[in-house]
Amino acid sequence: MTREFRKDIRGRGASSNIPNRFDSLQYEAEPQDFDNYLIDEDGKPRLQTQIIKDSSRTVLTKNDSPDIGFTYSVNPYRGCEHGCIYCYARPTHEYLGMSAGLDFESKIMVKYDAPQLLEEALMKKSWQPEVIVMSGVTDCYQPLERRMQLTRGCLQVLAKFKNPGYIITKNALVTRDIDVLQEMAAYQGIGVMISITSLDNDLIEVLEPRTSRPAARLKAIEELTKAGIPVGVNVAPTILGLTDHEMPAILKAASEAGATSAGYTVMRLPLSVAPLFEEWLEVHRPLRRDKVINAVKDIRGGKMNDANFGSRMRGEGPRAEQLKQVFDIYTRKYGLNLKDFRVSADSFKRPTNQLSFDID
């Protein structure tokens, strides 16, 4: 199989397996090595997903980044089948000896005992109740969750302890768990943020190939709102030169669906994500390649990425400031962010009849 053959892989964001930056020896695949590719009727290759057991004995990840508004997150999955080409988490797969490209979206590490590990963590006397974010790294409602139900299990644990949680997702599958979310909402213990990058179905099909389509995400906002669950929209990531013009329309549609809050981030391309995104542009949007790359560099000090805290989420310069002004204007216009909603840890309580011993 040649690189040309692999350019447009059905249901995948990446077009190749970019070399792992930690490996001094690089492997060039031969045609017989691609047994896990299937060929569709139209001749396009389709890559099968592989599930790999993650034997980690912890499930809580602690964040120390000053520009991320939470400390703890739970990630039942490492790697993400959604395949969003710009995903900042892609380089984490390189620590596992894999590629940030196709490996990241087709070789998924699964923590089968995530709910049990979470319960053990919350039972410890050292745990001080605070918000736990679901999807701090990869999307907790990626396609595998439909049958694995590990996110649902973790939410049930949070509800059991009345520990507050927050969900960030691009998948309408979140509505499956409305029963648990309603239970948590009763004690101000949950908030949901639905990310919408674009309202263009054709673009989403190749930019975020296995996510829910925009209409389904808006429907999810509507269903969550009707169920009494606080929900907002995250216009994220905003890609200058490609999706930034859609910000007003996304905010309007989300508000009409029932969202009461909104946020946004600008696309960032750390490490191996930058060449993957450039390759994506060459394959899927070649005529916009230069415009998008120049726009990215315009708010990143002439570089493809800016890792500095404080600027990496929004960018710097006139163009970044203009985007912020657009966001502020249209959130006010559509009645978003009028109230500061916060989940509460006041109701937290450890079950006394579950374990007969203390976990230090």
Rounded average pLDDT per 10-residue block, the chain, 360 residues: 54 91 60 50 73 93 76 95 97 94 96 97 96 92 97 98 97 98 98 98 98 98 98 98 98 98 96 96 96 96 84 89 98 95 94 53
According to the model, what pLDDT value does residue 42 have?
56
Task: Evaluate whether residue 356 is within a structural domain.
Answer: no
Instruction: Tell me the three state secondary structure of residue 73.
Output: strand
Task: Evaluate whether residue 344 is within a structural domain.
Answer: no
- Identity of residue 311: S
DSSP label at residue 263: E
Quote the CA–CA distance of 16 and 296 in Å, as a whole number: 22
According to the model, what pLDDT value does residue 114 have?
97
CATH code for the domain in which residue 145 is found: 3.80.30.30
For the chain, state the CA radius of gyration: 21
According to the model, what pLDDT value does residue 307 have?
80
Handedness of CA 251, 70, 137, 157 (dihedral sign): negative
Quote the CA–CA distance of 58 and 178 in Å, as a whole number: 27
According to the model, what pLDDT value does residue 41 have?
54
According to the model, what pLDDT value does residue 325 have?
98
Placement of tokens 């990215």 in the chain: 296
According to the model, what pLDDT value does residue 134 have?
94
Domain region containing 268 = 31-333
Best CA proximity match to 45, nearest among 84, 83, 93, 3:
3
According to the model, what pLDDT value does residue 311 have?
78
Instruction: Specify the pTM.
Output: 0.90
- Identity of residue 25: L
Task: Evaluate whether residue 113 is within a structural domain.
Answer: yes
According to the model, what pLDDT value does residue 270 have?
94
Task: Evaluate whether residue 162 is within a structural domain.
Answer: yes
Domain count, the chain: 1
Task: Evaluate whether residue 12 is within a structural domain.
Answer: no
Task: Evaluate whether residue 217 is within a structural domain.
Answer: yes
Task: Evaluate whether residue 357 is within a structural domain.
Answer: no
Task: Evaluate whether residue 206 is within a structural domain.
Answer: yes
